[in-house]
């Protein structure tokens, strides 16, 4: 029984690594494809709802710091996002042996998204965003992965609380 549980957890970890690798690859490929949209008008996919629009994000998520200018802003953002990415990786490594499938998936998605955006900042100096839903900031696949990862971790926490309450 213990050995089967250990094997299942190892399988969850391997599956999560594959998920994260796939998401990182998808993020990288879609950003490369989106580069062709630079200096082009937006391409409507669903009129008034969804369009592809190239944008260079030199700021944080949701451009929270857009009105705040300070020296070395790009370098500081790169350092902070790299540190956050490292923190997620360390949490995952620390939790790996006892993490549920939902936790593995959530941490893999968060890490894939974080690495995708850190790679952009490190190589380009900005993050490429290209998915635009009406009344929402422009985003990319890495952003979707991070949000999906947070949701998966929320599901994992809720399931763990429920299991603990049952005894």
Select which of 27, 59, 120, 129 is catalytic.
129
Q: And the tokens for 92?
A: 């995952």
Return d(Cα 34, Cα 106) in angstroms, integer: 26
DSSP 3-state assignment of 91?
helix
**129 is known as an active-site residue:** yes
Report helix angle 101-124 to 141-166, nearest 10.
160
Q: And the tokens for 58?
A: 């030199």
Return d(Cα 60, Cα 52) in angstroms, integer: 20
Select which of 27, 59, 120, 143 is catalytic.
143
Burial tier of 7 (Cβ tally within 10 Å: 0-12, 13-18, 19+)? exposed
Return the active site residues.
129, 143
């Amino acid at each position: 029984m213990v050995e089967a549980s250990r094997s299942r957890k190892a399988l969850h970890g391997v599956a999560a690594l594959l998920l994260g690798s796939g998401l990182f690859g998808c993020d990288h490929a879609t950003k490369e494809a989106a580069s062709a949209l630079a200096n082009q008008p937006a391409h409507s996919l669903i009129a008034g709802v969804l369009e592809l629009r190239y944008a260079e994000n030199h700021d944080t998520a949701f451009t929270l710091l857009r009105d705040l200018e300070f020296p070395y802003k790009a370098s500081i953002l790169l350092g902070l996002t790299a540190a956050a990415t490292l923190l997620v990786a360390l949490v995952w490594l620390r939790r790996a042996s006892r993490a549920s499938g939902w936790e593995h998936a959530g941490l893999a998605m968060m890490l894939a998204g974080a690495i995708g955006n850190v790679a952009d900042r490190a190589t380009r100096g900005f993050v490429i965003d290209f998915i635009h839903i009406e009344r929402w900031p422009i985003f990319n696949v890495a952003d979707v992965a991070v949000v999906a990862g947070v949701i998966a971790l929320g599901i994992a926490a809720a399931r763990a609380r429920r299991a603990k309450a049952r005894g």
